[in-house]
Each structure stands twice: as structure tokens, then as C-alpha cells.
Amino acid sequence: MGDGVSLSLISGVLWAVFGYLCGSIPFGLLLSKAAGLGDIRSIGSGNIGATNVLRTGSKKIAATTLLLDCAKGFVPVAIALNTEGAHAAMLAGLAALAGHMFPAWLNFNGGKGVATYIGVLAALSWQLALLFLATWLTVAALLRYSSLSALTAVVAVPVAAFVWHGGELAVYLAGLAFAIFAKHYENIGRLLKGEESKITFGKSRGS
């Protein structure tokens, strides 16, 4: 995956800032307010992601949030990859995920990062993105836990990356997986206690 080109300090900072700014756009909050659904931080889990937006009852706004949260990971990575190469793309992706999880505009209290992670992954390797989705769907169909499905998928992806693309991308994706796990600590606690809510038809809770 490595392009053999080291980023300059200035270039690295610029890609990091660009990725962070893209990732930090709180689409779920903005769309919910624009649709007259109120502040989603005051309902459900208080999260700004698509799952919590779905708790407002608007599947359309939730689906739009999901797509835009994916896009804010995909766009900076795709631009960096085609402009300066893999190292710039990985830096932009890491920053985009950080922006979604810790947006400065919301006192660094953002989402859990799964949708943005999918966007980053899709820009780096569509095969790995498909693997993530297949793993998520399989675990969700069998066990009906959205959070467990996502956590299982982010573990499977670095393993596959090592086989398909080599160690550099695998280590990078393992780092992103660690960040996803850290943001899901409450879900992990509920899973261990058997208290995590399961996916229902048309809606998933607890992730």
C-alpha cells in the first residue's frame, strides 16, 4: 500500500487539517435540526451518528446522515490518494475519523466513527469495504447486535488487509479499529452484561 514517498511536514499538516475539517462536519446534528427534529444530542444515546438520528423516527434523515458520514471519510482520502499517494491518504483518513469522533465545534464530543471509517476504507480498498459490509451483515443477521457487528468487522478488516495488501495498511487499519473499540466502550460493557439492545426491523439501537 505504501507509495514510497515521505510526506513533508507542511504537506502532512495540510492533509491532516483537511481530513479533520471534513470529518468534523456534524451532518446528523445539522440535518436533524434543519428537518425540525430537534437536537439529537438530547435523545437516545446523545450520539450524532445515523443510528441515533433514526431514533427521531425519520429513516430518510438517518439514511442521508449515514451516506454523508461515509462521504466525509471517503472524500478527503480519495483526494489525497489521487493527489499525493497512499501516505497522504492514510493521514487524511485518520484525521477524518478523529474529526468525526472529536469535533472541535461540539466540545470534542462526536460520533463513534463507523460510517466515517467505512468511507475511509472504501477509498483505500473497495475490497476491504465489501468485506466489512459482508461481515457486518452476517453478524447482524445471526446475533442482531449492531455494535457487535461493527466491532467484529473492524477486527476482520486488518487481518484481510495483511493478506491482500501487506503489513503497512494492516497496521494502519488496526489503529483505526482500536479507536473504534475505544469509542464503543459503553456498548462493550452492555454486551458483556447482556444488556445491549438488539437490532429490530428498520431500526438498530445501542450503537
Answer for the pair 110, 69: CB distance below 8 angstroms, yes or no. no
Q: Is 90 exceeded by the pLDDT of residue 198? A: no
- Phi/psi of residue 112, each to 5°? -95, -10
99-129 tens-digit pLDDT: 999 999 999 999 999 999 999 999 999 999 9
| Single-letter amino acid code for the residue at 82 | N
* Least confident piece of the model among 53-62, 74-83, 154-163: 53-62
Could you read off the pLDDT of 17-75 as tens digits, one per residue?
Answer: 999 999 999 999 999 999 998 888 888 777 888 888 888 888 999 999 999 999 999 99
For 124-133, what is each residue's pLDDT tens digit? 999 999 999 9
**Annotated domain spans of the chain:** 9-193
Backbone angles phi, psi at 203, to 5 degrees: -155, 145
How much is the mean pLDDT over the chain? 91
Partners of 200 in the β-ladder: 203
What is the torsional sign of CA 140, 146, 150, 152? Answer: negative
What letter does residue 41 receive in the DSSP assignment? G
Q: Give the pLDDT confidence score for residue 202 in this predicted structure.
A: 46
Q: Are 96 and 20 in contact (CB under 8 A)?
A: yes
